[in-house]
Amino acid sequence: MSFFPVPDVMKDNIYELNPRFFNNRGIKLIILDIDNTIAPYSVPEPTERMKAWVQGLKDAGFKLAVLSNNRGTRPETYAGAFGLTFIGKAWKPFTKTAKQLIEEMGCSPENTAFIGDQIYTDCLCAKALGSLAIVVKPIEYTNFWLRFRHWLEFPFILKYKWKDMK
């Protein structure tokens, strides 16, 4: 368990993650963020490619769930389209709702992976729980604040890259 939000894994997008990747790490539960992780803000419903990726993981025997800070209907829309359990208004990086979701799914933090685009929410929540923290590049920057936030995360991204080079 760590409160230092350096990702365990960084990828360009979710499609670089496959069942073998998760099996090799002993993962049983995959918790997904939505906004800018699996879908850009401008896409109101999952695409066929997203559905196929999720279905591939489900077919491989993984449990999946959606955990989002989004306060609108997007978590329910996406989770419903994928047939997944979800929690919206999650208040990440606070771990209360994440713990609740992990327990509800019958797993432990140690065999859970979080996939998100934000260091200060998704990654920090995963690290605080002792789960695998996977950060993907944000899909799109729709405004100044998203770029600014990414700039603030840059030291942790550099630390990951430095660690990865060793």
Write out pLDDT tens, residues 39-52: 988 888 999 999 99
Name residues whose C-beta falls within 8 Å of residue 115's C-beta, 6 or more positions apart in sequence. Answer: 14, 17, 30, 31, 32, 33, 37, 38, 122, 134, 136
- Report whether the peptide linkage leading into residue 93 is cis, meaning its omega lies within 30 degrees of zero: yes
Q: What is the CB-side half-sphere exposure of residue 13 using CA atoms within 13 A?
A: 10
Instruction: Copy the structure tokens of residue 85.
Output: 């359990």
| C-beta of residue 85 within 8 angstroms of C-beta of residue 101 | yes
Q: What is the pLDDT of residues 65-117, one digit of tens each?
A: 999 999 888 999 999 999 999 999 999 999 999 999 999 999 999 999 999 99
3-state secondary structure of 65: strand
